[in-house]
């Protein structure tokens, strides 16, 4: 699943291509991706609209058009591809056509979502964004704020870090990297963490995500940017998918926490 760095990479690459482009037509081959309006409403609302900006909140892309916000979540395998007149692939479900090229939403798993709202609506009061917390780069996510939330949670810290209501943008890969860099065991009960632990987690989240963004994200399976370029942070991973701990040189353990494959070093990240 594309996490914050991958979505930020998509945002940056799309901004270079589609800003100031006007939608001339839209083709929809799988309408279940569109969640809060009908297929007909989606098309009639967006044709003639121009892309003015693209923001991101956590793992969500927020496209700004003249009169609308289009909110897109890539889920497991979603991506935006820029093409000309090539034949439409069976996995290209929504095609936005401009004057000289088109942008295609490609999703082999069909799990991605799109929500459309008029600009007079506060999108952060509406689904899906109203259920998304602050991301690590947001100054509103303070150590005390996060510590107070953690004190109410008895689930494993790995599960907590994946909860987008608590911290937006972290996914399986980066949660493993953050916990390894802070030497916190992924099974540690969240409310047993000290304020110092929480500070380490927040700082590590910012550091790991910032570096991943600078390297265009992580490509382990299928992620590419809209320029069809793979990420490079997979070359910097310290623990996720690794066999040997880079610190103690002992074997890395793989377990499942809340059904998510989790990598950690039992020696460097002992359970408290």
Q: How would you label 56-83 residue by residue, b for 16+ Cβ within 10 Å and e otherwise?
A: bbbbbbbbbbeebbbbbbbbebbbbbbe
Percent of the chain with pLDDT over 90: 91
Report residue 138's pLDDT band, with 50, 70 and 90 as the boundaries: very high
pLDDT digits (tens, 9 = 90+) for 222-242: 555 555 566 778 889 999 999
Instruction: Give me the pLDDT at residue 229, please.
Output: 62
**Residue linked to tokens 């003015």:** 52
CA distance 121 to 131: 16
Instruction: Give me the pLDDT at residue 224, please.
Output: 53
Which of 131, 162, 196 delimits the end of a domain? 131
Q: Does residue 30 sit in the same domain as residue 119?
A: yes
Residue 207 included in any domain: yes
Does the structure show a pLDDT above 60 at 8? yes
| CA 113 to each of CA 78, 131, 150, 191, 206: distance values in angstroms, whole numbers, following the listed order | 9, 15, 29, 33, 27
Mean pLDDT of the chain: 95
State the residue range of the domain holding 110. 4-131
pLDDT digits (tens, 9 = 90+) for 27-58: 999 999 999 999 999 999 999 999 999 999 99
Report residue 99's pLDDT band, with 50, 70 and 90 as the boundaries: very high
Instruction: Give me the pLDDT at residue 272, please.
Output: 85
Instruction: Give me the pLDDT at residue 218, please.
Output: 80
Residues belonging to the active site:
2-3, 59, 260
Helix (H) or strand (E) holding 6: helix 4-18
Residue 272 included in any domain: no
pLDDT digits (tens, 9 = 90+) for 245-256: 999 999 999 999
Q: Find out whether the peptide bond into 128 is cis, omega within 30 degrees of 0.
A: yes
CATH number of the CATH domain containing 158: 1.10.8.50
Residue 123 included in any domain: yes
Helix (H) or strand (E) holding 113: strand 113-118
Domain count, the chain: 2
Q: Judge whether 150 and 160 are in contact, CB under 8 Å.
A: yes
Which distant-in-sequence residues (6+ apart) come within 8 Å of 66 by Cβ?
49, 50, 52
Residues 125-146 have a mean pLDDT of 97
Does the structure show a pLDDT above 70 at 15? yes
Q: Does residue 147 sit in the same domain as residue 124?
A: no
Instruction: Give me the pLDDT at residue 86, please.
Output: 87
């Amino acid at each position: 699943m594309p996490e914050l760095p991958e979505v930020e990479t998509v945002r940056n690459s799309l901004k270079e291509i589609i800003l100031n482009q006007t939608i001339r037509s839209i083709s929809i081959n799988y309408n279940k991706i569109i969640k809060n309006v009908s297929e007909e409403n989606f098309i009639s609302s967006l044709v003639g609209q121009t892309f003015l900006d693209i923001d991101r909140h956590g793992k969500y892309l927020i496209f700004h058009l003249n009169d609308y916000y289009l909110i897109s979540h890539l889920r497991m395998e979603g991506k935006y591809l820029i093409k000309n007149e090539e034949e439409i692939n069976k996995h290209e479900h929504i095609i936005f056509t401009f004057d000289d090229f088109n942008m295609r939403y490609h999703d082999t798993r069909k799990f991605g979502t799109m929500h459309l709202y008029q600009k007079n609506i506060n999108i952060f009061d509406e689904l899906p964004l109203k259920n998304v917390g602050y991301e690590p780069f947001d100054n509103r996510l303070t150590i005390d704020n996060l510590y107070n939330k953690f004190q109410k949670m008895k689930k494993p810290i790995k599960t907590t870090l994946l909860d987008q209501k608590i911290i937006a943008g972290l996914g399986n890969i980066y949660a493993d990297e953050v916990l390894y860099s802070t030497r916190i065991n992924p099974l540690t009960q969240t409310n047993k963490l000290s304020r110092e632990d929480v500070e380490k987690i927040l700082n590590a989240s910012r550091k790991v995500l910032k570096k991943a963004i600078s390297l265009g994200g992580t490509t382990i399976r299928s992620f590419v940017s809209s320029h069809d370029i793979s990420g490079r942070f997979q070359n910097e991973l310290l623990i996720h998918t690794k066999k040997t701990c880079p610190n103690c040189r002992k074997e890395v353990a793989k377990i499942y926490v809340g059904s998510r494959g989790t990598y950690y070093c039992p020696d460097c990240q002992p359970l408290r």
